[in-house]
Amino acid sequence: STKINREVRYVIPSCPVLEVDRKRVQMFRLLGEGAFGSVHSGQLLVGNKPKDVAVKMLKRNYSEEELVALFKEMEIMKLMSRNPHPNIIKLVGISTRNGPFLLLVELAHHGNLRDFLKYRCLSDRVALQYHNLHPGTKQMQYLPCVSGQLLLQFATDVASALDFMASIKIVHRDVAARNILVANGDNNDGSLVAKVADFGLTRNVQDKDYYRVINEGKLPVKWLAPECLRSRVFSTESDVWAYGILLFEIYSFGELPYPGVSPGDILGHLESGKVNSRPKFAGEPMYQLMRQCWSWDPKLRPGFREILNRLEEMRTAGN
């Protein structure tokens, strides 16, 4: 990709209600780093009250495409904040003047769902886990166990966010446990809530019901529906497929989907009729739901409304 000449300056259109003075932003720990840039934990001074935020910014030698991608992510988050949803990470502010473009979003204190689950276990199993959540601090640590009810709650939180997004014709395109964040519940009662984040690939599809990707680089192959792998057509139905893969991740405590299958072989694997086998901690009704999300024909996949009903049935049935 084309690297930006150091002399070139991009003027990013601001937004008066969101613009914050970067002198009021403090950055702390590096939370994550991707090809695009980085995310730090931090605080924003609102009046004289500090507010926890996550600060997303580009790498030093960012390309124009990467800047555009971050800008699009901001636009999608702005669009969704008109009608805030409890299971979607909120946009807190932006800083476009006198320095690098900063995207300030709600901080989720427990990080992403995949890592959260990876180092935990179901309540009836041993609690001692070896974890390296924080780079450089490998240590044995007791992490609280996770109940089956909480797994089901996380699944419901995400389905609820995606149902809302589908209703306003927004396709996420990168539904996966690494892009779901775990935050504290609102009442500070120790409850946890899952929130959809990372809208880097998200697109507003408005009245065409699908989105065709032209010439876009890396795609999360193991989360993609066959029609995405074949013709790069993305839709709410392909988000449902990815949601099924997310259920697999939740009920295997963060295992990589299709273990032993290399990304290049996924389409062939699916074409031969194979899907993920039942993860260890999923009951039969939960696995049936996953299987339906993985229907070859997009029209046969359940909608998020139906998924929510099915999850509610499982909750009341106590499995």
The least CB distance from residue 179 to ligand ADE, in Å, is: 9
CB < 8 Å & 24+ apart, contacts of 73-80: 73/103, 73/199, 73/200, 73/202, 74/103, 76/170, 76/199, 76/202, 76/203, 76/204, 77/103, 77/105, 77/199, 78/15, 78/18, 79/168, 79/170, 79/204, 80/165, 80/168, 80/170
- The span from the CA of 13 to the CA of 264, in Å, is 40
* Footprint of ligand ADE on 13-32 (CB under 6 A): 31-32
The least CB distance from residue 94 to ligand ADE, in Å, is: 14
Query: Which one, 108 or 293, has the nearer CB to ligand ADE?
Result: 108
Of 18, 25, 54, 289, which lies in the binding site for ligand ADE, with binding defined by CB under 6 A? 54
The least CB distance from residue 110 to ligand ADE, in Å, is: 8
Structure tokens at 85: 């949803």
Please, are residues 100 and 56 in contact by the beta-carbon 8 Å criterion?
no
Of 94, 102, 197, 311, which lies in the binding site for ligand ADE, with binding defined by CB under 6 A? 197
Q: Which helix (H) or strand (E) covers residue 247, if one does?
A: helix 236-251
Q: Is 179 annotated as belonging to a binding site?
A: yes
Binding string, residues 70-109; x marks residues near ligand ADE by CB under 6 A: -------------------x---------------xxxx-
Query: Which one, 39 or 159, has the nearer CB to ligand ADE?
Result: 39
The least CB distance from residue 252 to ligand ADE, in Å, is: 22
Query: Which one, 109 or 230, has the nearer CB to ligand ADE?
Result: 109
Please, are residues 135 and 198 in contact by the beta-carbon 8 Å criterion?
no
Check 115, 157, 163, 174 and give the catalytic one. 174
* 21 catalytic residue (yes or no): no
Q: Is 34 annotated as belonging to a binding site?
A: yes
Please, are residues 217 and 259 in contact by the beta-carbon 8 Å criterion?
no
Please, are residues 194 and 213 in contact by the beta-carbon 8 Å criterion?
no
Q: Which residues pair with 45 in a beta bridge?
A: 50
Q: Is 146 annotated as belonging to a binding site?
A: no
Q: Is 178 annotated as belonging to a binding site?
A: yes
Binding residue numbers: 32-39, 56, 178-179, 198
Which residues are the active-site residues? 174
Binding site for ligand ADE (CB under 6 A): 31-32, 39, 54, 89, 105-108, 111, 181, 197
